[in-house]
Amino acid sequence: MKWFNGKISWGFIGALLLSIQAVAQMQAPLRGPNAAKRYEINAKRMDSDMYSEDALPRSREFKRIDSTYYVGWMFEGVYKYNHAADYLGFKNASIPLERALNLIERDFKPELRTRSSDLMTYYPVYFYHYEYSTIAFHLLMCYNNMEEPMKSYNLLRRVLKWNFQSDYYNMDVYNHLAWTVHRHRYYTSEKYPFLKNSIEDNEKLANRYLDSQLRRIAINKRLNAQIFRPGYERMEKLAVYHYKSILYSYALKVDSAAHYYNLMRNSPIFPHNNYATFRAICGDFREAEKEYEMAVEQDAGDKRLKEWAYYTANINLYKAQPDKATELMKSMIKANGSTPGFGWYNIALARAMHYNGKIAESERYIKRAAEFKELHIGTTLSQQHYDFSTQMVKLLNVNAEIEKQKFENAGWWYNPKALAKMAKAVSDKYTQQFLIINQFAQNPERDRVVYKLFSTESTVTWDEIWFLIRDFSTRYFITRFEKEVQNDERVYIRKYFKYFIARLYMKLDNYDEARILLDEILRTSDIDVEYEKLFLARVYQAQAECAEEREDNAAYAQWMYRLYNEFPQLVPYTGLQMPMQLHINGDGGAIVNRLKDCNIKWVNDPGAPQVYVTVTPNGKKSRVTYIVRTANNITIPETSFGFDGTSPLAENEGINLAYRLFKIGESPLVEK
């Protein structure tokens, strides 16, 4: 979830103060021996803009004229902030901003303290309230982006003591206090004294800050009645609603969250990204995708992680479109380079590669993510979420390495080379699980974010969670998920808990009970067959395993056929044999022989996917042409690839071909 990044504009009566800000700048009272120099700086800055590329040289000029005046330091700090993209950049920006804040406080205490309902009294001091808020806001963002919550909190308390009669430049202090608490909710007062000692108490504290902001708006409204346009306070309240919606979404209080989103609807600050995430956690992936598309324009020019892109990639996986997820993440990496979000995009890309069956490439990208120092700007997603997501993709890949040996070697149990590789992969799996569990044990949010499924703070897919819990505490999770089926407000999510329960029953060899639950899932009317293909594929996989257990070959073949139609890239890593009928044109030689050694159930059944293979020798170069048909449809169109027919590794092209039959393309596990 993202914090509010919009700039709220308040209208003064007749747009008076907005139109005369420059004049107020010139007429604002200046005292002391340097007054003449400061008037000169004010005059010069009327032709300058602290957000332009000219701001840095202008800041140097202003400091040469009078280095004790805050303006030069403010120009320098804002310029450096706008050009920062890492810890060092924000650190460098914070130094002149701190200096500017100290100087404006030192020189303009009377103006900063002034509160008035009289326009002529308020008019000369408004400028300093606005300037102070501008400096404080940029400094706060520096502290947030440097992961310095204690400095952020102290700064907010410092701003609050001036008690401005309006929140200029989005410096709505109580809202930021609520965000700071929520952002660090999983810590306690031992680490940060401004926190309480549990997530529940921290969330209550954050809500109290938002209530304080609403009270403050009401108090200030009485003072501002003769200064601001009627109804100005609505925009200030909308900012509070923004944070309320975040807190209630996190708490999975669906009705309350929806209430606050509805209050913001059709307003200029409606947070399409956050609302999309809210719809996603409710299981409405179709609406979520539409809202993420609308967030693209809203996030234009934002230097933070584009959450819409990261989560859209997950929705693409739910739709069985890993190629589309891959394309999106590669485009984000290319467009944004190593700016904030680079690591997240690599995690999503590695996940997309995994679900596309390209495990070696997935490993390459997840390694890149693990080695990258991500900067978590303006988001509730933290380093804990980042590390957990990285480790989960690694766990997916090590599980795939085990299944890879089974797929490539139908008789793996008497193949010494395959057994040795499997033993290493199993050892790696236990090591990876140990690392995750150790990290997980220190995470107080695991009950809210991981086990709940589809939390606003979850950065992994529901499918990954199964690979985490399937080897641990089966009966504990059955009991837990049974309660979720009964109590979770999110009706569309209950079927996912039911699927997990069925899977856990299978772990206990209770296949009959599992089958009953799986049948119930498939009879429900709340499955979106376009947006929940991954879910359907996993249910079909579980049904096939149940059919295999009871030796019902016809049912097994039917469920595998459905799995293949929904998400064929999954099949090689399920440990299940896919029934297919093979048609060879000519002498396939070593390639076809190696293909037949892979873990595919070659049958004589016109109802099974029909595989047509032609191997055409042409001197040293040979060409394989293949096509797969199912139920009178072409699942994989006619495709061909060449290889060196004289190479001793030519038979490995048979493994390559086996993966291609499942839309995996080049073999993800055989080096060329």
Query: In Å, what is the CA distance from 119 to each residue of 16, 225, 318, 633?
Result: 10, 10, 57, 75
> φ, ψ for residue 579 (rounded to 5)?
-70, 125
Handedness of CA 203, 207, 210, 215 (dihedral sign): negative
**Confidence (pLDDT) at 668:** 38
Query: Using an 8 Å Cβ cutoff, are 276 and 308 in contact?
Result: yes
Parallel, antiparallel, or unpaired: how do β-strands 610-618 and 621-630 relate? antiparallel
**pTM check: above 0.85:** yes
Query: Using an 8 Å Cβ cutoff, are 152 and 144 in contact?
Result: yes
Under-70 pLDDT residues of the chain: 1-29, 31-32, 299-303, 378, 645-646, 648-650, 666-672
Query: Using an 8 Å Cβ cutoff, are 219 and 166 in contact?
Result: no
**Going by C-beta distance under 8 Å and a sequence separation of 6 or more, which residues neighbour residue 138?**
77, 78, 81, 93, 97
- CATH code at 318-571: 1.25.40
Q: Which tokens sit at 552?
A: 């019902």
**Confidence (pLDDT) at 615:** 87
**Confidence (pLDDT) at 287:** 97
**Confidence (pLDDT) at 48:** 85
- CATH code at 577-660: 3.30.160
Among 389, 473, 395, CA closest to 432:
395
Query: In Å, what is the CA distance from 545 to each residue of 12, 207, 474, 571?
Result: 69, 47, 18, 12
Q: What is the DSSP string of 126-191?
A: HHHHHHHHHHHHHHHHHHHHTT-HHHHHHHHHHHHTT--SS-GGG--HHHHHHHHHHHTTTS-TTT
Q: How far is residue 603's CA from residue 577's CA, in Å, rounded to a whole number?
A: 11
For helices 307-318 and 285-298, what crossing angle results, to 10°?
A: 150
**Confidence (pLDDT) at 359:** 94
**Cα angle 202-435-387, degrees, rounded to a multiple of 5:** 50
The domain limits of the chain are 12-161, 318-571, 577-660
Among 279, 581, 613, 334, CA closest to 456:
279
**pLDDT tens across 100-136, in order?**
999 999 999 999 999 999 988 888 888 899 999 999 9
**Confidence (pLDDT) at 302:** 64
**Going by C-beta distance under 8 Å and a sequence separation of 6 or more, which residues neighbour residue 635?**
564, 565, 568, 609, 628, 629
Q: What is the DSSP string of 198-247?
A: SHHHHHHHHHHHHHHHHHHHHHHHHHHTTTBPTTTHHHHHHHHHHHHHHH
Q: How far is residue 129's CA from residue 120's CA, in Å, rounded to a whole number?
A: 15
**Confidence (pLDDT) at 301:** 60
**Confidence (pLDDT) at 475:** 87
Q: Which residues partner with 60 through β-bridges? A: none
